[in-house]
Amino acid sequence: MLPNSFRYDHPNIIAGQGTIGLEIIEQVDNIDAVVIPVGGGGLIAGVALAIKTLNPEIKIIVSGYICVNWLEVIDPITT
């Protein structure tokens, strides 16, 4: 692998991230949509591939870099 190449676009990484999609399908009934954060691309590639392969009707919603600070949402008093 080249020194400056991205590590998250390797097929093994994408396959590993896909296990999250499999867990979602197995554990949640009646899924309409799944929100997936996007950074480097490996997570959304794997999760979306797994979910869409098993159920093409589920919508994939992409959450980009513009996100709230989750610590402020969880506990606004201490942050």
State residue 63's pLDDT score: 81
Q: Where are the alpha helices (DSSP H) in 1-79?
A: 11-27, 42-54, 70-74
Rounded distance between C-alpha atoms, residue 38 and residue 9, angstroms: 13
Is-above-0.75 flag for pTM? no
pLDDT mean over 59-67: 76
Render pLDDT for 3-53 as a digit per residue (tens, 0 to 9).
555 677 788 989 999 999 999 999 999 999 999 988 778 899 999 999 999
Residue showing tokens 């991205």: 6
Burial of 18 from C-beta contacts in 10 A (0-12 / 13-18 / 19+): buried
Q: Is 37 helix (H, G, I), strand (E, B) or coil?
A: strand
